[in-house]
Amino acid sequence: MDDLLIAGEKFSSRLIMGTGGAPSLEVLDQALVASGTELTTVAMRRLDPGAPGSVLDVLRERGIKVLPNTAGCFTAGDAVLTARLAREALGTNWVKLEVIADERTLLPDPIETFDAAERLVADGFVVLPYIGDDPALARRLELAGCAAVMPLGAPIGSGLGIRNPHNIELIVEAASVPVILDAGIGTASDAALAMELGCDAVLLATAVTRAQRPELMATAMRAAVQAGRFAHQAGRIPRRRYAEASSPTGP
Amino acid sequence: MNVTINGAPHEVPDGTTVAQAVLTLTTATTGVAVAVNDEVVTRSAWETTALGDSDRMEVLTAVQGG
């Protein structure tokens, strides 16, 4: 598979993993290895002195680049502060920008997200914003200097797949930065579809971490992303209403 | 003086530095970041930054998420 390029950095895997929802760090570790991921998100939270082990140790041990997110932020101000704290704690200027509108849907707030993106770009961050499947907003964020755009397939953790494949295609067509399908993936065919639609990568967590067998689902996702990428590059046949013989007709 | 550390009230001696306050939670100095009153205090400034009365200090680290 060809490399994924984000902000000049190369990745041979096009599967970006999240770490939320895993029942233990051991299970997470096995799933990350099986996924083949080279870029994985973490959240920033108040330090709990009693917490056993750290997700950072797992990522460091496996040589996986850490991508902090701003999950849990409702305002641009919160997100900017969280990104700055992540940069300080983790020594990376990459951030998955996530500003949500409400707890029930966890849908991204476009106004706060755009505001935060502008401020973080100005502050030297490599910004990867999580957004709705909105082609206009994706375009505006690219023009504002974001290193990628990350439209959702469906709400976080819903497993509903890609609810509006047409919009994802429109975003892909207009973008000259990587498009990363983020959120909503339920199973391997959803990840394959994202890649077939022309997305450059897929970010998922719950579909793997809450699967009955996370490691096996991670293996499935890895294969699906690769299959979808190949299919996209190969160019699918047009859909037809009627049959077209694949064997010679006549005697 | 009274300060808030990660949302909990604490009474600390006058002149307590950020570094000393962090030590009440963890001995780690990497993978951890501090904000006082919503401004980041860089690691290099922990020893020289004193807390003031009513300051709000947040000590964050990375956890599973996303």
Q: How confident is the model at residue B36 (pLDDT cuts 50, 70, 90)?
A: very high
Asked if residue B41 belongs to a domain, the reply is yes
Domain of residue B7, CATH code: 3.10.20.30
- Residue A21, beta-bridge partner list: none
Candidates A15, A25, A47, partner chain B, best to mutate (most B CBs within 10 A): A47
The total domain count for chain B is: 1
pTM: 0.92
Q: Which of A44, A21, A48, A17 is nearest to A33 (CA)?
A: A17
Q: Is the pLDDT of residue B30 over 90?
A: no
Asked if residue B35 belongs to a domain, the reply is yes
In angstroms, rounded to a whole number, what is the distance separating the alpha carbons of residues A242 and A244? 7
The token pair that represents A214 in the structure block: 């996370």
In angstroms, rounded to a whole number, what is the distance separating the alpha carbons of residues A146 and A96? 10
ipTM tops 0.85: yes
Nearest CA in chain A to B8: A46
- Among B25, B38, B65, the residue with its CB nearest the CB of A81 is B38
Nearest CA in chain A to B27: A49
Per the structure, the complete domain to which residue B29 belongs is given by: 2-61
Check residue B26 and give its pLDDT.
Answer: 85
Check residue A114 and give its pLDDT.
Answer: 98
Asked if residue B42 belongs to a domain, the reply is yes
Mark yes or no for CB contact A54/B42 under 8 Å.
no
- Among A28, A54, A88, the residue with its CB nearest the CB of B42 is A88
Nearest CA in chain A to B30: A89
Low-confidence residues in chain A, pLDDT < 70: none
Kindly report the number of other CB atoms within 10 A of residue A58's CB atom.
21
Asked if residue B66 belongs to a domain, the reply is no
Coil, helix or strand for B63?
Answer: strand
Q: Which of A167, A73, A180 is nearest to A126 (CA)?
A: A180
- Among B7, B25, B63, the residue with its CB nearest the CB of A42 is B63
Q: Are A31 and A19 in contact (CB under 8 A)?
A: no
Check residue A52 and give its pLDDT.
Answer: 74
Q: B13: distance to nearest CA of chain A, Å?
A: 22
Active site amino acids of A: 96
